[in-house]
Structure 1
Amino acid sequence: MDNLVNNYGWWLLALVLIAAEMLAPGYFLLWIGIAAGVMGLVTLVVPGLPGIAQAVLFGLLAIAACLVYWKFIRPVAEQRDDQPLLNRRGAQLVGQRFVLAEAIVNGRGRVKVGDSEWLAEGPDLPVGSEVEVVSVSGTTLRVESRNG
């Protein structure tokens, strides 16, 4: 009966962690929850496993599960992403051309992007010059001149 409580305890922990993953997504609670589920199976197969051994094994399984996710599953999931720049607006602007809304003086100015303006860094240029975004650093666009 004592072993039955051990098994259910690990499985209950697994369910709680996986449910918590649904409330606060980030993938790590899912993998730690899977490790807790595996511990439920381990205590079923090895009924007399001491508590300290269970705790150590659980820690190792949790680390291993997170490493498997980080090294093998996450890269595959990122490659399958059909919109990798969806939440990276600045990165979406690289290669696009815009007009300066404010002259670049001493390397800094502003670029009109849609209905907003972004900080721009690049060579000194007058208002109205066409520039191309070559990179992004935070909310600052690095631009080069594209005027003929």
Structure 2
Amino acid sequence: MDGIDTYWLWLIAGLALALLEMIVPGVYLIWLAMAALATAVLAFVSDPPIAMQVIAWVSLSLIFAFSAKRWLRDRPIVSSDPLLNNRAGRLVGEIALVTQAIESGAGRVKVGDSEWIARGADAAEGTRVRITGSRGAELLVEPVALLGGEGAA
């Protein structure tokens, strides 16, 4: 482009994309930003025609994005709290109170200040049950053993 140093345009585009990645995180725009910054360096060093710069940006964007996808697939980020967004999963092992008798395998239990649909062995209202798992928004329960003072209320 006559009179305009294109590396400034690539630099501004790269910084704008990096800023957008921080505002709307999705781990995608950062690769486009890195490609734009690499293209800015290329444009500064060798000043190729604008068409070659665009081809370089598209190519680098694809290379960075697919390389990052492969890298993250092979080295997944492990959460320190895998049940963070799994409310029902966090309840496994807790004791619940049957508020609606569990008959034919279905009823309701109260855990804390919430009531949940429960599936498990038949139990009368007021019985204490242990949460053993979850299936969607339903809790899987079993009667609490009468050991250690736990049992029916």
TM-score by length of 2: 0.73
The 3 A distance-change label for structure 1 pair 19 and 104 is same
Which residue is equivalent to 1:123? Answer: 121
Alpha-carbon contact 1:32-1:65 (below 8 Å) kept: no
Hey, which of these two has a bigger chunk of helix by percent? 1
> Root-mean-square deviation (CA), in Å?
2.7
Partner of residue 61, structure 2:
58
Task: Work out the number of aligned pairs and report it.
Answer: 142
Determine the structure 1 residue equivalent to 2:87. 89
Query: 1-side partners of 2:125 and 2:13: how far apart?
Result: 61
- For the Cα contact (< 8 Å) 2:93–2:132, is it kept in 1? yes
Unaligned segments of structure 2, at least 5 residues: 147-153
Candidates 100, 103, 108, aligned match of 1:102 = 100
Q: Secondary structure at the match of 1:10?
A: helix
Query: What is the aligned partner in structure 2 of residue 67 from structure 1?
Result: 70
CA distance in 1, matches of 2:68, 2:10: 16
User: Post-superposition shift, 1:35?
Assistant: 3.6
The corresponding residue for 2:136 is 138
* 1:36–1:70 distance in 2 versus 1, CA, 3 Å: farther
Q: Give unpaired runs (5+ residues) of structure 1.
A: none
The structure having more radius of gyration, on CA atoms, is 2
For 1:23, the aligned partner's letter is I
